[in-house]
Each structure stands twice: as structure tokens, then as C-alpha cells.
Structure 1
């Protein structure tokens, strides 16, 4: 019998020739809005690193006229193409800067950037100018973005929502074969990482994911129980010590210390909105704070540094699974 990872790769190979050209007009339901495309867009502007890297992975870098909202350096394989594309903003771009590029499509990672309360603009504002907008389904499916600063998950996050985003963007741009290949690769790598971690047979190991903090010495933003990090923990056999449904709730260090996680995963990023965006300052805090320093994970040096963007819904979630699966065996968990 073939192992799951081999079966996944065989399925990918078998399906590689089954993709077909997009039939236009194409109509899609996207985060509550119906989109129609009579042809593939000739250009795009991305608001969110996740959508930027998906378009690059689909071989569409030549269509991208501007990018924005960056957490970390672009994936190494896209460094060269990304260097030739204008970055409109490291963080939130202005509506005017996006429109000035006259894009055939605007893609967004988060609904709070382009949505009912969009801080860049609403979808209606773009539509009034004849510019369609596409939001990654991973920020809408099983999620209520009207509550909490980063929204509240109503269902456990699944990589299927990322696969849907890849597939739909591939349809929109008429590169369905590349979309099918990318989804197949993500599925195979995901299965391999989960198999590796499950072989450890963890029984009661727990974890905390710390993204950042508005101030170094105040309550941190940590991963809730239904977002991408929670999915990773569940897939790898770890129990999340945070019980909030918010995407990134603020939780006191006293509460976290009482939960006493076996492992702490901290985000590493290039963004510097907050002092705690610097992972080295996170490490220094954990080892010096009178409360945090007493946690089992800190005392036993069970701290894993993870790419911040891999903690958000993106194709990098598979990279995170692989990083964590590789790190767990050395932590002495049971």
C-alpha cells in the first residue's frame, strides 16, 4: 500500500493533464459579492502579501503592477521578479495609489482592507470605477469580520479555503493547469508534514502562538482557537491553550502562564509597527519577565521562531507545518 504522501503525488501527476481553459464569461461568488469576468484581467494590484505570492506562484508576476501590505521578505523563489514590481506601500496603500495603476483586478488578503469598512476602500468604490475586487476566501469562509479587531472565526480554519483561492485566481487568469499543480503540491506537502508530526504520538502537549504586542510590556496578540495557527496545532497533535474564537485575541500573560503551554511559537517579521514585531525582543521579554519566564516552555527553551506571514492564511501555512514538524522532535514533548 502506498503512503498518503505518495498517493497525493500520484494524484497530482494523474490530474496534471485534466485542467482546461477557462470558459468566459466566468462568474464567481466571492465573499458576498458576485464577480463576472468576460476575459482574463490584463493587470492586477495586490493588497496583501498572501495574494501577491499566490499570483507569483501561478506565474502571473507579469500581470502584477503594484503590491502592498508586507510582513516579511517575499519567498526566495520570487525575489527576482518581485524586485521589478513597484511596492505601493509596506503596509496599507491609499485608494488613490491603487487606482492610479488602472488595474484590471485588485486582490486582497483581508476584508478589512477592502470590504464594508475597508480602510483602503470599499468594494463599491472600486466597482464604481469599473475595477473588480477579489478577496481571498480564507478571510471570509467560517469567519465574521464585523467583530473583533481581526474578526472572529465561526468555524475551524481549513487549508481548503486557500486551495479555493488558488483555484479561483487561476480560473480568473486562465491558468487552471498551474492552479491545479500548485494545489496538488500544497496538499502533498501538508500530508507529509502531518504524518511526520503524528509519528511523535504526542498526548498532552500544548502550544501558544504569539504574533505581536501593541507595547512590549502589555498583553500580547495570540492565536485564537479556530484560525490558521489553531489548525496547525490540531493537525500536528498540539492543544491550543487559548480558547477565544477571535482571530488574534489579546490575552494577559498571567492567564497564559496559568495555562502553561508546553511550546511557545513566536512570529518573526520585517514589519515594525510595534516594538514586539522584533522576535529578538520577544525572546528577551520571555526570559526576563517575572511571569512569562516561569512558564514550562521558557524554562525548558521550547520556543520555536516562525515566519509571521505563515501564521496568517496563505500558501505559507504549509511552510509553517513543515517548520513545526521538523522542530517538534527535538523539544522532548510527550
Structure 2
């Protein structure tokens, strides 16, 4: 994936201890069997050339990124959503990675980190989901600090250390930073500033409260890079918000997240669109009446390799609606 020249780094010395999400994980050698619970972690492992170490994956929101289709085809998928604790252990992993503490954390849908630790299996959770974030209560967590891409870069570098591929990791980070800088520079000053936007991810019930992007998560990061403004001000990662409250915030644009996942009815963009155009409250929103609705791929809303692509995708959509200077 990296387009620049290779960056050299010192080899890993084992045993290696890494501080991760409030815990210390130790590996005695480069892991040979890893189960990846989360699409973004899986794709990072593939980008680092580690597909042959991945013995199982889970939690998929959409198709694997195109560069990794061939690699992914040979890897066992344990579950589309949350795998069972037993299914993960059944692959005899010497490392488990997770994108979200929601899956492996204090209230893990798969298990708590300690459950794996008791069996001698270290767990690496993405720093993007724990640094500056409180996951102590059930749910998606609350951010005290805004998401930043530096946390993804840290994720890549630390996996590089764990697997003794630090040179590959550093090269990948250099490439991603260059792409991010180019994306931001190309859009600088071209979009109306302070444009109010809401990002609707999904809903348990299409007609119920919506899971929308909080003030400090990945979508808010993308909006900030473009000079736009998230109308949701809570620090929850994906708060449930009623449409009366969304209407009161009066977003100029509604962003709908597109995904292949079908865990909730509103995962389907078509269901979202139908609701917006027929619900007595939603259909009166100025953004709906003027058809200022855009669709963004779910990969851009996750902390991973495709986050940066979301800057350009969102900018192109907003420009198409006439919000360029």
C-alpha cells in the first residue's frame, strides 16, 4: 500500500512489553496465530503483510478494501458481527486484536480482556478506541479527547513492533500521513466554514432515536478537517438522539452512513432515506426538503486505513451540493 521508499527500523527485541489501553501486554516472540476482531485491525494487519498470521476475523461492516481481497479470501471468517469467546479461542491464537473495547473490554460483547489474559492470550485493542476515552460504562464509550489520526498511526507502529515488521509499519505511516496532508491541503478554504452537519449511522428501530456521530469521534474529525461543524455536541461516541432534537439543531446537510452490515434495520441506507422522506418530523427538515443528503461509506467513519479517504469523499459530496466557496 505504501507508495514512498521503505523506511528502515530496528528489529524487535523479545520479550516485548507494550502498554495498551490501561494494560501491559507481553509477547515472547512475533505472534504466529492472530484473531482479529474488527475490520480496521484486520486491514492494518493485511497492509503490513501479515495475512499469513491471521487465522480468524470478525466484525465486518463492509467488503474488505480492494488491495486485500486476495489475502482475505484465504482467511477464516469467524462471524460477521461479534464472535463468541469460544470461537476465538478455538483458533488457538497467540494474540487477539480488536478495533473496539465494545468487543473486548470492561463490558466486552466477546469477552473481557482479563478472560483472555487468564488463559495466557494477550489482547491488543486499538488506541483510537481507548486513549482519551472512557469505556467503563456499557455502550460505545465517551471521549474526553477528540479522535486524531495519530492514534491510528500509533496502532500501526505498535503492531509493527509486536510482529517485528517495524520498517513496514513506518513506511505505511509515512504514506498515510502524506495522503492526509494532501487531502486536507486540496480542500483548504474551498468549503463553506461552520457548515452544520449531522451524521446518521443507524438506529435499532428506523422510527426510533438515531445513532449519530458524537462531537469528538471519527466523523467529527473529518468535518473539522473540512471546516464543517457537527451539530451534535455530546462526547458520547455514537449517542442516540431523537429526531426532534436533530430538527432543533437544524443541520444544513444530513450524512447517511452506507454499510453492508444488517444488525439493525436502519443499517440499510434505503431504509434511512425512506424514513427521512416520510417521517412527520424528519421530512420537515430543511436538509430533507432541499435534498441535501449525502451518503458516506462506513469505512470512513472507523479509525483505520480508510479514514483519510473520508476527507475527500465527504468534501466531494459537499461540493456537489454547492457548498464550495
TM-score bin, normalised by smaller chain: over 0.9
* Residue 172 of structure 1: aligned partner: 162
Task: After superposition, give the CA deviation of every residue in 1:277-297 in whole Å (9 maximum; x if it has no partner).
Answer: 001111121122222122232
Q: Does 1:84 align with 2:74?
A: yes
**Counterpart-to-counterpart distance in 1, 2:7 and 2:173:** 14
Q: Where does structure 2 lack aligned partners over 5 or more consecutive residues?
A: none
Please show how residues 237-256 of structure 1 align to structure 2 within 5 Å.
237-256=227-246
TM-score (norm: length of structure 2): 0.95
Shift of residue 212, structure 1, vs aligned partner: 0.2
Task: After superposition, give the CA deviation of every residue in 1:160-183 in whole Å (9 maximum; x if it has no partner).
Answer: 111100110011001111111111
Shift of residue 214, structure 1, vs aligned partner: 0.8
* Residue 132 of structure 1: aligned partner: 122
Task: After superposition, give the CA deviation of every residue in 1:286-321 in whole Å (9 maximum; x if it has no partner).
Answer: 122222122232222222211123212222211211
SS in 1 for 2:170: helix
Q: Does 1:184 align with 2:160?
A: no
Please show how residues 73-152 of structure 1 align to structure 2 within 5 Å.
73-147=63-137, 149-152=139-142
Question: For this pair of structures, how many residues does the alignment match?
Answer: 322
Kept after mapping to 2: 8 A contact 1:197/1:328:
no
TM-score (norm: length of structure 1): 0.92
* Residue 295 of structure 1: aligned partner: 285
SS in 2 for 1:211: strand
Q: Does 1:210 align with 2:200?
A: yes
SS in 2 for 1:112: coil
For residue 218 of structure 2, the aligned residue among 212, 218, 228 is: 228
**Counterpart-to-counterpart distance in 1, 2:164 and 2:56:** 20
Shift of residue 195, structure 1, vs aligned partner: 1.8
Greater shift, 236-245 or 19-28, is seen at: 19-28
Q: Where does structure 1 lack aligned partners over 5 or more consecutive residues?
A: 1-8
Shift of residue 148, structure 1, vs aligned partner: 5.6
**Counterpart-to-counterpart distance in 1, 2:185 and 2:9:** 29
Greater shift, 210-219 or 189-198, is seen at: 189-198
Shift of residue 117, structure 1, vs aligned partner: 2.3
Task: After superposition, give the CA deviation of every residue in 1:80-119 in whole Å (9 maximum; x if it has no partner).
Answer: 2111111101111111111111111000111121122222
Task: After superposition, give the CA deviation of every residue in 1:48-80 in whole Å (9 maximum; x if it has no partner).
Answer: 111111101111001000000111111111112
* Residue 143 of structure 2: aligned partner: 153
